Amino acid sequence: MDFVDAALDSVWPAELRTDRLLLRPVIPEDADLVRELLTDVRVRAYLGGPASHERVASRQAAYPATAGAWAVVRVADDQAVGLASIGPDHRCEGRAEVSFQLLPSAWGHGLGREAVSAIVSWWTAVVPGGGPVVAVTQAANVRSRRLLESVGMVLVDELDEHGARQCLYTRGGDEDDSDLRWVRLIASRRDEVERRRGAQARATAAGRRLPGDLTVLTADELAQLCPARHGGYGRICARAAGHTPDLHLGRAPDGAWIAWLTSRAP
């Protein structure tokens, strides 16, 4: 079991209160809220579009049984206006990801900021040494990015997921005792692994066919390369499009060969 799952099981269920909100575990009676959020074109604009009927039914069943999933309730009128959650980040074991969705009627009042801030503070308090807390949003989602920055989160990486550029944020603060420190440590270790993979991939037949200096490739040759773009370094895959498995071979800023995986091999 992932560390984050284990930590959540030890502290769940939990209710969080702010000046204007109650965050309580999702219950079956929130099914209409789940459906409205998952099918609203505006809410889903940067989340892949409205979900299918099957997806909605699946989430309606799963949310009440999911540790770390809250309904966001406005205290003034006892109205549930969104969902928020914290759980394992599928990109990196041991790292927690916070996320939220609000109905458009609740936008523009700082409620999302209040909910995210409460969740991050709660996690830090109840899971000491719980590792970094991250949030990921589409680069084009300016409203969400500003919200994350307003609660003290900083951009530390960019990646391609679900056909769009994504921004990965984590908490800023004291450099010696912050999530920022942990994310940078993880990134440095990832780079070490990628460089080792790069050396191995360069030794393959496909790697040996690549020129040592990718800048000598013609425009037509460049057009044949894999279009993948990954990470905050703007890495360009130097292998031909359509290669499998998804092991991408390219160059680091200092010219060292690196390689990275974008999905599990079949």
What is the phi/psi pair of residue 157, to 5°? -165, 160
The contacts found for 176-180 with CB under 8 angstroms, 24 or more apart, are 179/131, 179/132, 179/133, 179/134, 180/132, 180/154, 180/156
Q: Are residues 19 and 138 in the same domain?
A: yes
What CA–CA distance (Å, rounded) separates 125 from 48?
33
pTM value?
0.69
Q: d(Cα 63, Cα 69) in Å, to the nearest integer? A: 6
Give pLDDT tens digits for 164-205.
Answer: 888 989 887 644 455 666 666 666 666 666 666 666 666 666
With H, G, I as helix, E, B as strand and everything else as coil, classify residue 101.
Answer: strand
What span, in angstroms and rounded, lies between the C-alpha atoms of 83 and 73? Answer: 9
Residue 248 has what pLDDT? 72
Mean pLDDT calculated for residue range 118-128: 91
Of 2-11, 16-25, 214-223, the range with the lowest mean pLDDT is: 214-223
**Domain-located, residue 181:** no
96 burial (CB, 10 Å; 0-12 / 13-18 / 19+) is: buried
The answer as to whether 12 is a domain residue is: yes
26 and 63, same domain (yes or no): yes
- Domain of residue 13: give its range: 3-172
Do 98 and 60 meet the contact criterion of CB atoms below 8 Å apart? no
> Is there a single domain that holds both residue 17 and residue 109?
yes
Does 156 lie in the same domain as 208? Answer: no
Cα 206 → chain centroid: 32
Question: What are the angstrom distances between the C-alpha of 12 and each of 7, 80, 131?
Answer: 9, 20, 18
Give the span between the Cα atoms of 97 and 24, in whole angstroms.
Answer: 18
Tell me if 86 is assigned to some domain. yes
Give the separation between CA 146 and CA 163, rounded to whole angstroms.
Answer: 22
Residues 152 and 29 in one domain: yes
Q: Are residues 79 and 24 in the same domain?
A: yes
pLDDT at 14 over 50: yes
Indicate the pLDDT class of residue 232, thresholds 50, 70 and 90. Answer: very low
For 127-174, how does the pLDDT look when each residue is reduced to its tens digit (9 = 90+)? 877 778 899 999 999 999 999 999 989 888 887 777 788 898 988 764
Q: Is residue 88 part of a domain?
A: yes
pLDDT of 29 > 90? The answer is yes
Most confident range (mean pLDDT) of 33-37, 172-176, 247-251 is 33-37
164/58 Cα distance (integer angstroms): 24
Q: Within this chain, do residues 157 and 244 fall inside the same structural domain, yes or no?
A: no
CATH of the domain at 12: 3.40.630.30
Q: Note the pLDDT tens digit of each residue in 62-93.
A: 999 999 999 999 999 999 999 999 999 887 77
157 within domain boundaries: yes
Rounded to whole angstroms, the Cα distance separating 24 from 12 reads 11
According to the model, what pLDDT value does residue 105 have? Answer: 95
Report yes or no: 84 and 70 within 8 Å, Cβ to Cβ. yes
Question: Could you give the number of structural domains in the chain?
Answer: 2
More confident: 244 or 44: 44
Whether residues 204 and 117 share a domain: the answer is no
Asked whether residue 146 falls in the same domain as residue 198, the answer is: no
233 lies in a domain? Answer: yes
| Residues forming beta bridges with residue 87, ordered by sequence position | 97
Q: Quote the Cα angle for 208-211-217, to 5°.
A: 140
pLDDT of residue 160: 78
Claim to verify: residue 253 and residue 201 sit in the same structural domain: yes
Considering only CA atoms, which of 107, 112, 103, 108 is closest in space to residue 135? 112
Answer yes or no: is 29 within a domain. Answer: yes
